[in-house]
């Protein structure tokens, strides 16, 4: 059995079962869930075949705000972990090797695939699922973006403020929206289309909340 076959038969099957049980949908190595506020959580595996009998892989987690994805006009598309505002990668604790300067799981036979699969599940159930789940709670996501705590990702301040602008607008939070606009004015004003979209969304959410039928 090749390393790729062992990976498919064990790791991919274990991950698929685990993420489906948590409400994720997808196929192969990309999985996606939408939170109650419309934000996106993603889990994916990235693999690199070194030879017929050696394969390395990693597992990535990510969250991207729904309003940002919607503003981009990509609502009909499913985001991937590379699109995440917040990104994290699980850390292997067994059968790992340094690859491209980082730690990757290493599969070279059926037994190593089983150990890697078990270790991945340990990482997901021991914190990975919870990390994504917490950030799909909109107030937690807003606080996290405000702190600039984006996991492995680094972003410029104006990017964070633009994301906050869209999040506060989507929440119908006029006070929070105004604070972010003031901060942006001090740094780098948002482009016209972003601000116009955010203002329209804020007005929509405000009207919806004020409606007796809301």
What's the pLDDT at 185? 73
pLDDT tens profile 54-78:
999 999 999 999 999 999 999 999 9
Query: Rounded to an integer, what distance in angstroms lies between the CA atom of residue 171 and that of residue 40?
Result: 16
- Are 157 and 50 spatial neighbours (Cβ–Cβ below 8 Å)? no
Residue with tokens 């203002």, as numbered in its chain: 199
Q: 5 is written with which tokens?
A: 């076959």
Tell me 83's DSSP state: G
What is the token pair recorded at 107? 């599969």
Rounded to the nearest 5°, which phi and psi values hold at 137?
-90, 110
The pLDDT value given to residue 90: 97
Indicate the pTM of the whole model. 0.92
Please give the pLDDT value at position 78.
Answer: 95
Q: Calculate the dihedral angle through the C-alpha atoms of 130, 133, 139, 143, rounding to the nearest 10 degrees.
A: 50
- Please report, for the chain, the start and end positions of each structural domain, with discontinuous segments joined by +: 3-136, 156-210
C-alpha span between 44 and 59 (Å, rounded): 6
pLDDT of the chain, 214 residues: tens digit per residue: 899 999 999 999 999 999 999 999 998 799 999 999 999 999 999 999 898 899 999 999 999 999 999 999 999 999 999 999 999 999 999 999 999 889 999 999 999 999 999 999 999 999 999 999 999 999 999 999 999 999 988 888 888 999 999 999 999 999 999 999 998 876 556 568 899 999 999 999 998 877 666 5
Q: Are 171 and 65 in contact (CB under 8 A)?
A: no
Give residue 88's Cα distance to chain centre: 8
């Amino acid at each position: 059995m090749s390393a790729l076959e062992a990976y498919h038969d064990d790791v991919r099957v274990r991950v698929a079962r685990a993420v489906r049980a948590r409400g994720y949908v997808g196929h192969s190595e990309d999985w996606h869930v939408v939170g109650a506020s419309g934000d996106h959580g993603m889990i994916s595996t990235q693999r690199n075949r070194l030879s017929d009998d050696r394969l390395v892989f990693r597992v990535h987690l990510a969250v991207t705000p729904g309003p940002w994805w919607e503003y981009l006009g990509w609502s009909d598309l499913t985001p991937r972990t590379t699109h995440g505002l917040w990104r994290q990668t699980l850390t292997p604790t067994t059968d790992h090797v340094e690859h491209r300067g980082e730690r990757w799981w290493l599969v070279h036979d059926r037994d190593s695939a089983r150990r890697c699969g078990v270790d991945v599940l340990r990482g997901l159930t021991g914190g990975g699922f919870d990390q994504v789940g917490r950030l799909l709670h909109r107030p937690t996501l807003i606080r996290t973006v405000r702190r600039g705590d984006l996991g492995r990702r680094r972003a410029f301040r104006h990017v964070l403020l633009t994301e906050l602008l869209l999040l506060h607008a989507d929440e119908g939070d006029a006070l929070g929206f105004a604070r972010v606009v003031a901060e942006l004015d001090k740094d780098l004003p948002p482009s016209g289309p972003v601000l116009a979209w955010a203002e329209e969304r804020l007005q929509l959410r405000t009207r919806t909340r004020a409606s007796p039928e809301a």
